[in-house]
Structure 1
Amino acid sequence: MENMTLEQVASPLTEVSEKPSILYIDDEEDNLVVFKSAFRRHYNVHTAKSGEEGLEILKSLDASLVITDQRMPRMTGVQFLKNLPDEKDMIRMILTGYSDMESVIDAINTGQVYRYIAKPWDKEELKITLDNAIEAFQLRRKNKQLIHELQEANEVLEQKVEERTQQVNLQKEEIEKLLLNILPVEVANELKEKGAATPHYYESATVLFTDFIGFTKIAEGLSPNELVSELNACFLVFDSIIEKNNLEKIKTIGDSYMCAGGIPVPNKTHAVDAILAAIEIQDYMRRFNDEREAKGLVRWDLRIGIHTGPLVAGVVGSKKFAYDIWGDTVNIASRIESCGERGRVNISETTFEAVKEWFGCLYRGKVLAKNKGEVDMYFVETKLS
């Protein structure tokens, strides 16, 4: 032993550790000795004299195969196998004589026993049976491991799918938010459902234009960043005001802001809504300019023009969608704004007729409008109680 190398000492241990473990249970000591002697070279053979002792051993032994005698005191072989915990997946075999065959066959049919061994057993035949049983056990374990790995892989895949689905949903929400930033919700829904939005004709709608007076001169005194920042601050407030008053923003063109009422969903209050928004915008600009003057900064005076009439509204473009309005009503509203005065809300006669019961207005007479001739115009003075 002293002359053996470490490798020579270790290899038998390794070989033993690789042998499959078998638990053999029999209440007769001689049978245990014979079985262990016959098969210890091939398997790690563990023995027990009773079913109770076998159950205790299996608490710490991961056996490939358990073989039990059927006739034992206190607990038969079939009873022992019934008492095995569900998590124990070893192959189960039973030794039996002819007189016990009926109960053993029943155990086989119910899946409790892999195979029975008739007494007396032949060593060579039993060796083949044991090898087949252990191979079945190894295949069972391998399948179980593969199923476990597959379940884990499926869980990982499901998690990834769930994460990706969440990402797609978030992206979809962002896209929808962006879409709603440029299109009315009704038009956006139609576009998503049908792939196109149908232009609509409106018998009566109200168009509102704003424009900063002397904007070119204002721009000369500011850096590009300052100019855009100031303009954006104003337009953000305008956005909030028109949304509150049920108007739809159409677009901005330089320093000009355009919105409309009565679209895309027709209503009867669009002219009143537009004037309420216009008054609130001019009130905001007065406060805005008071603060600028207190700081010694140049004023941003605003004209507002409003006109009511028929128009067409719809989506233009196939890549960069834009909701827009067309018709002479739009052109007249632009001229009404151009003919207005700083800090005032200038309206056309058709708008006046629609709101005269709610607002006090000052008739300006016929005012010459570019390419439109003389047009009756009014300044909104007060809101009637």
Structure 2
Amino acid sequence: MRFTVSSTALSSKLNALAKVINSKNSLPILADFLFDIQDNVLYLTASDSENVINTQMELTESDANGRFAINNHDLLEAIKGFSEQPITFDVNLQDNIAKISYQNGLFSLPVENADEYPQSQPITEGINTIVMPSNVLADNINRSLFATAQDELRPVMNGIYFDLTPEHLAVVASDGHKLVRNKVFTVQSEQPASFILPKKPAGLLKNLLQKDGGDVEIKFNERNAEINYGDGRLSCRLIEGRYPNYNSVIPQNNTNTLTVDRLALLAALRRVQPFANDSSNLIRFHVEGSTLQLDAEDFDFSKTATERMICDYNGQPMSIGFKGSAFIEILTNFDCEEVIIQLADPSRAGLVIPSEQPEGQDVLMLMMPMLLND
């Protein structure tokens, strides 16, 4: 079996697929890429047994159909740094060897029998479907991924929750201290449905989705999901269990509103945070009139820092504590010029929302306060 393919196109596809492969695998063949040539089209597969990525590409030429598996690390190292040029694979399935030739050289690698590669089963029962633009899904995953937990006791918190309702699709993530809720009003369903996407496939999708505005189709049931995008497909196992009622923790009466330049606040927090106590990372926000004051202190090492900045504040003078690193993460995951921080009192959660919402969406992030030692 002999076929020819573009070096840069192949390298791009393989580097994207390689992200799903674990360094240690339950089956040795899961360290391989699966090559499947059918009618001048190369179908590529990579898997870690729970997550499977499939993609395809046109071949320059091929003389036969066939399947084989080849080690991901060896192949990626071999073609790394190639300039754009044709690469020809000459695969001998009887001797389990592939000779790979290019402009100025030749190398050979062992191949394995493709029949040993695990096959993913298509979703057949209880299917629900979501169709949405790829850039909207990518943006929602980008905004939410940082807020997922790493909690062995509550695995449902370790993924992104997709809650499909008659009014909207809510994309939610929380670790119990911070929460992100995105509403997408262009995606609705008369029949409510939901699923929890684990962190790894969510991170893979973040890198795989194109920002070209094409549509993504998500098929899911209680246990599995299949996401079709562009020229690829990601199949994954879902987290099973009931997600907490996220709406119940979002306060409705935060009447004190603070509007501030996002990048200026982010820069100020980054300057002040190194002076906070290492264990608590507590930063005091004191807001009064048109001034926001940030204070950090670590009395164990005699370190303190204070910074003031101009803001627009409507409400009672207030001091409230937040975890500095978490607040920095929240501000980093917005892309607006200004943020609005809504507060009720120092013991209740603060809401952070963008000054301008994305079109057809409603985004908010919630931050639980920390106790101040006054």
TM-score, normalised to structure 1's length? Answer: 0.20
TM-score, normalised to structure 2's length? Answer: 0.21
- Greater per-residue strand proportion: 2
Whose RCO is larger (CA < 8 A, sep 6+)? 2
